[in-house]
Structure 1
């Protein structure tokens, strides 16, 4: 679990789960240099500096998310080497210490595990699930509750053809070349992915919506699970499924888009807004249960999505 270095010192690797509201961040990855934009990783590493590790602590992020994207549960690994004579942090001590030193209220460390020294948070993940939230019945953005504006995509339509969306989603399930749903800039060597889940379901009414407003507003959740995703794949699949729900595309056309492998086609260049997307979970084998998370993110994106 640890590698002895200086006399009496031990370097220990941990896996930590953490969550964040992405509104204030330029994505999860650290922004280096003199730029004003900052990532969630900047704050995590700043908190880790207070742990007095012999070596600088760097977070290796499991799943990168874009600016404005949220996470109910992301993950990262880090190495900590305490000074001679000091025992390694227990997972509980590490979680408490990081939360104590975090300087941004929109980030929280959920849980930590000790893992082998060769464990890698990105490559060891066996499942990533993304949740995308929609709202219908909102003719103008300023009619949506201020508490929901950065947590869902508000559609002007009063309803969606959910049956057609579910039919279209079936075409995306399985192993395919998802080139048609990949944005430029992806570092992936292959665009073949296996999509294990693609669901569309109604969400309970948000607790942040007034009773008189909830009669016309309806919230929806789209969930996607795979071992990994291409750059902005989830947001592009969401945009196409929403087009089906609005009647602009048919389920058969979604199949044709997938088979075209063309990311620059008329319909597949659409990208759903970042603020409706949540990385819901990252799972690993042999680590017990992941942190328990709420079904919907009303209280609060691996490759980029």
Structure 2
């Protein structure tokens, strides 16, 4: 029967992890991939199972739906696992409660989770009306960026966001010194909108706290690009920058400028979905 390749969608709360990628060696830090591959040992593959990630996320960043491909080679007298069985075995043996396998699919042997992705969508959660972490529900503290502001100029943020749409050299929004063959990316979609009222906010607090969601879509992003764009858009919302200055920052191609060097906290960022054109999978995450 030989080797079978699978595409697996999975989610995690990133608070406890040093990012999604596996951490090698004897360090105390650990990645989501470490737990996934440990669970995959129970598949008893002839060759060790390795998760090839579609998208890397930093320490503290979450994923509603990330993806990876993996190969499982059973002994010759045994047929390949069904996708449902594969997902069930992984979930049964995952040793961290903040990780869950959503779904698995059989894919061709030449499928690559990273290079086959046609789009990735990230969202960033903000909250206003909060003077400090003590005023935020404990359930939300690692899932959003609490701004010490009563409100945001959302119209100005939306105007500023339009300067980032399309194909540009995003050098100004990548971490300085990041190795990349090209800093040109195409941002297909960007939005700033009121967030859904959190079910974890008590009724008496709901008039004070307002959640906001920023959403970004591109085939790929530069290292920390989304968190840097978010920080600049928040600066616009707080009145520290004018919308037109975002275009100037973009055109400067300078990652070390006063405003573009700021990075939004990891805790508010979520990888919402990874989309593969034509596969029609349930967790591809189309809007």
**Is there any run of 5+ residues in structure 1 with no aligned partner, and where?**
1-8, 296-305
Deviations 1:243-284 (A, max 9, x none): 000000000100000000000111110000000000000000
Contact 1:15–1:76 (CA under 8 A) maintained in structure 2:
yes
Task: Measure, in 2, the Cα distance between the counterparts of 1:184 and 1:53.
Answer: 41
Contact 1:185–1:231 (CA under 8 A) maintained in structure 2:
no
Where does residue 211 of structure 2 map in the other structure?
219
Question: TM (normalized to structure 2)?
Answer: 0.98
Task: Measure, in 1, the Cα distance between the counterparts of 2:114 and 2:281.
Answer: 18
Where does residue 255 of structure 1 map in the other structure?
247
- How big is the shift at 1:294? 12
Deviations 1:61-92 (A, max 9, x none): 00000000000000000000001211101111
User: Which stretches of structure 1, 4 residues or longer, exceed 6 Å deviation after superposition?
Assistant: 292-295
Question: TM (normalized to structure 1)?
Answer: 0.92
Listed as ranges, the matches of 1:1-305 within 5 Å are 9-291=1-283
Task: Measure, in 2, the Cα distance between the counterparts of 1:221 and 1:124.
Answer: 27
Query: Helix, strand or coil for the counterpart of 2:157?
Result: helix
Task: Measure, in 1, the Cα distance between the counterparts of 2:110 and 2:284.
Answer: 26
Deviations 1:203-233 (A, max 9, x none): 1211001001111000000000000000000
Contact 1:25–1:39 (CA under 8 A) maintained in structure 2:
yes
Task: Measure, in 1, the Cα distance between the counterparts of 2:108 and 2:139.
Answer: 41
Query: Helix, strand or coil for the counterpart of 1:14?
Result: strand
Contact 1:283–1:290 (CA under 8 A) maintained in structure 2:
no
Task: Measure, in 1, the Cα distance between the counterparts of 2:180 and 2:206.
Answer: 42
Contact 1:199–1:222 (CA under 8 A) maintained in structure 2:
yes
Contact 1:91–1:112 (CA under 8 A) maintained in structure 2:
yes
Deviations 1:138-176 (A, max 9, x none): 011111000000000000100000000000000000000
| Count of paired positions | 287
